[in-house]
Amino acid sequence: MNVRAALKGQYHAALGMLREAVEKCPQGMWDGSGHEVPFWRVVYHTLYAAHMYLQPNEAGFSPWEGHRLDYNDLPWPPGSGPTIDAPYSREQMIDYWRLVDGRVDGDVDQLDLEAAESGFPWHQTMSKFEHQIHNIRHVQHHAAMLSGRLRLANGIDVRWVRRDGEVYKA
3-class SS of residue 129 = helix
- What is 89-106 written as a DSSP string? PHHHHHHHHHHHHHHHHH
CB atoms within 10 A of CB 117: 15
| Residue 159 domain-assigned (yes or no) | no
Task: Answer whether residue 160 is part of any domain.
Answer: no
pLDDT at 100: 98
CATH of the domain at 81: 1.20.120
Q: pLDDT per residue over 40-49, tens digit each?
A: 999 999 999 9
At position 32, the amino acid (one-letter code) is G
Predicted pLDDT at 134: 97
Residue 100: inside a domain: yes
Q: Which amino acid is at 139?
A: V
In a domain? residue 28: yes
**Tens of pLDDT, residues 53-107:** 999 999 999 999 999 888 888 877 767 777 777 899 999 999 999 999 999 999 9
Per-residue pLDDT tens over the stretch 94-105: 999 999 999 999
pLDDT confidence tier of residue 169, bands split at 50, 70 and 90: low
Q: Which long-range contacts (CB under 8 A, 24 or more apart) does 8-11 make?
A: 8/104, 8/105, 8/108, 9/163, 9/164, 10/136, 10/163, 11/50, 11/54, 11/101, 11/104, 11/108, 11/135, 11/136, 11/139
Distance from chain centroid for Cα 160: 16
Q: Is 167 a domain residue? A: no
Query: Does 162 reside within a domain?
Result: no
How confident is the prediction for the chain on average, in pLDDT? 90
Provide the domain limits for residue 43: 3-154
148 or 156, greater pLDDT: 148
Query: In this predicted model, what pLDDT tens digit does every residue of 15-31 receive, in sequence order?
Result: 999 999 999 999 989 98
pLDDT attached to residue 33: 65
Phi-psi region of 6 (alpha: psi -120 to 50; beta: other; left: phi over 0): alpha
- Helices of type H across 31-127: 39-53, 90-110
CB 38 within 8 A of CB 120: no
- Contact 128/118 with Cβ under 8 angstroms? yes
Q: Does the residue 168 lie in any domain?
A: no
Indicate whether 123 belongs to any domain: yes
Per-residue pLDDT averaged across 110-139, rounded? 96
What is the reported pTM?
0.92
Domain count, the chain: 1
Separation CA 14–CA 152 (nearest Å) = 20
